[in-house]
Each structure stands twice: as structure tokens, then as C-alpha cells.
Amino acid sequence: MLSEFLDGELSAADCRWLKRHLRGCQPCLAYLKTLETTAGACRKLGETGTAPPELVRRILRLLQDQKFQGSNGATPPGRARRFRRVSGKNRC
Amino acid sequence: MNQRIFQAVEQLKAGDAGSFRKALESLTGTAFAFAKKVCGNADDAEDIAQETMLQLVPSVHKFSDARRLGVWLYKVAKTRCLMSRRMGKFAPARILRLDDRMPSPADAARLAKNRWPVSPEEVVLRAELREQLERAILKLPERYRLVVVLRDIEQLDVRETAAALGISPAAVKMRLHRGRMFLRNELDEYLHSLSSKDGRRG
Ligand SMILES: [Zn+2]
């Protein structure tokens, strides 16, 4: 319930009930705050992180190869499955 | 949905080579970051991001809608993660432990006094706290981990997460709740051990 409260997904009635409860319940309130900090830290974690430049270059090269091998750049999702594990590191 | 996906769709619409490259960087970065959090290993994450892009890019122009493109990207990346063997090894033994660690009324007294001395920003900026969080995510059994990563880290909504994982929205909410509590408890334990160390020193 606390988790859904954080996400604003409780029904109006449950939300009112929980807010009333939180006013009188220190342990729940403290727990909610730490849960909120945890979810917030996860969100911050997602804001960082870019692809290694070498990986992007390698993918661009492989996409070029794919084109030359006859794909016209419009492979339907079903057919795309034939691209099995390509071990990138061995290719460079 | 992750902002990088929206950015990428806009860049793809521009149609020139420079924009395409930028879009590819955004999408690869998204797949890489996702896979790294799920697998805990940069080498595996590179392979997974690469395979995901080779599968995604040939049809990428069909997606004008960022949400649908995102769901598809995560779905492909998730399947690749599950195929790479390293992921599964944590899973079975820890489900019980997760259940054990649901908060109980006995925790109430300790909880009442519980104030974390950190903000979300600080958790991510302080290397040891960030590591603790990343380690806790990897300790989660994979069904919880995937939900937490998609929902709380990649910022998908419940419906998008359900679609990417092929599970019901109700299952997403349940796993998210348990997963968050587990992470919260792991951080709590760590912060607690820090403050009791400080106490002894002082
Ligand atoms: Zn309470």
C-alpha cells in the first residue's frame, strides 16, 4: 500500500485513509520516507550512464555489414531473430 | 518511459546521418545501462546492447511512438539478458529471504526513530552508497529485479513495464513493492551500520 501511495495509485478512499493513518503513526511515516528516498535514488541512478563510444562505433560498423548482406533496412521483427549472438569483441 | 527514448525518436525523425548517430547513441546507452543493472557486468551489457541494437535498428523507423519503441527495446534487451547465463545464478535461493525481510510490527520501534541522513541525490553521489544500492539490486531475484529496474530506474509506468515483461499490471505492482522494500531494507542496514560505527568512534 505504501508503495502504491508513492506512485499515486491508491484509490481516493484508500489514499484518504492512509493519510489519516500517517498523521498518527510515526513508524509508517518514517518507513514511507525511507522508501521514497530509495525510489528516488533509483531514479537518479537511471539518469546517469551513456554507452561506451567504442560500442556505438562497433554497432554502426555491424549495421553497415548487415546492409551489405542484403537486408534493405526494413527487417520485420520476426525475421530479426536470425541475428544470433555476435561476439563484438572478437570482431575488432 | 525513459527520456532518452523520446529524444531518440525525435532524432530519428530528423532523417540525417548525424541525427541517426545521436539516436543510436541514446538507444544503445539505454540498452547498455539497463543490461548493466540487470546483469551487473559491463562486458555482458555491451554484448546485450549490441545484439539488441542489431535487432532493433532495421525496424526502428516503424516506431513513431516512443513508448512503443521503448517497450520493444526493453523486451528485446530483457530476453537477451535472460539468455546470457550469468543472470540466473542468484535467483532461487533468495526468494525466501526476501519474504523474511518484509517489515514486521517488531520493527516498529526502530522504525519510529528511523531518519536517513541522506537524500536520493546523496545516495547516488556517494560512491559507497551507490555501490550498496547497485549490489542490493543485483541481490534481488530476477523477477523482482527486472520490475524494479524498469519501473524505478528506467521510469517506465506500470503498463509499459507489464508489456515489456509480459506480466500483468497487478504482478508489476506486487513485485515492485517487494523489490523496493528489499532495497530499502538493504540500504537501511548499511546506513545503520555506518551510524553505529560513528557512534562507537565518537
Ligand atoms: Zn502505521
Chain B residues with CB under 8 Å of A7 CB are 158
B65 part of a folded domain: yes
Q: What is the ipTM of this complex?
A: 0.84
SS3 of residue A25 by DSSP: coil
- The domain in which residue B33 lies consists of 3-83
For residue B105, the CA-to-ligand 1 centroid distance in Å is 9
Same domain membership, residue B105 and residue B76: no
Question: What stretch of H or E contains B197?
Answer: helix B169-201
Contacts of B33 (CB under 8 A, 6+ apart): A46, A48, A49, A50, B45
In this prediction the pTM is: 0.82
Task: Give the model confidence (pLDDT) of B52-111 as tens digits.
Answer: 999 999 888 888 789 999 999 999 999 988 887 655 454 444 544 555 455 555 565 566
User: Residue A79's pLDDT is what?
Assistant: 39
Q: Which of residues 16-75 of A touch B (CB under 8 A)?
A: 26-28, 30-31, 33-35, 37-46, 48-52, 55-56, 58-60, 62-63, 66, 71, 73-75
User: What is the percentage of chain B residues whose pLDDT exceeds 90?
Assistant: 46
Q: Give the model's confidence band at B200: pLDDT under 50 very low, under 70 low, under 90 confident, else very high.
A: low
Domain boundary among B28, B60, B83: B83
User: Residue B60's pLDDT is what?
Assistant: 84
What average pLDDT does the segment B161-169 reach?
Answer: 96
* pLDDT at position B44 over 50: yes
Report chain B's terminal Cα–Cα distance, integer Å: 45
B28 part of a folded domain: yes
Give the length of chain B. Answer: 202
Q: At B53, which CATH number?
A: 1.10.1740
B90 part of a folded domain: no
What's the domain count of chain B?
A: 2
**Buried-exposed string B108-131: b where 16+ CB fall within 10 A, e elsewhere:** eeebeebebebebeebbeeeebbe
Q: At B154, which CATH number?
A: 1.10.10.10
Subunit contact A46:B155, Cβ cutoff 8 A: yes
Same domain membership, residue B107 and residue B79: no
Q: Give the model's confidence band at A16: pLDDT under 50 very low, under 70 low, under 90 confident, else very high.
A: very high
Q: How far, in Å, CA of B48 to CA of B67, rounded?
A: 21
Residues with CB under 5 Å of ion ligand 1 are A 25, 28
Q: Which residue of B has its CA nearest to A50?
A: B29
Residue B75 CB coordination number (10 Å): 15
Task: Give the model confidence (pLDDT) of A35-65 as tens digits.
Answer: 999 999 999 998 877 889 999 999 999 988 8
The C-alpha cell at B149 is 529496474
Q: Which residue of A has its CA nearest to B81?
A: A85
Question: What stretch of H or E contains B81?
Answer: helix B66-83
Same domain membership, residue B54 and residue B10: yes
One DSSP character per residue, B108-169 reads HHHHHT---S--HHHHHHSHHHHHHHHHHHHHS-HHHHHHHIIIIIS---HHHHHHHHT--H
Q: If you compute the radius of gyration of chain B from its CA atoms, what whole number of angstroms results?
A: 19
Same domain membership, residue B125 and residue B37: no
Same domain membership, residue B114 and residue B25: no
SS3 of residue B2 by DSSP: coil
Domain boundary among B83, B106, B128: B83
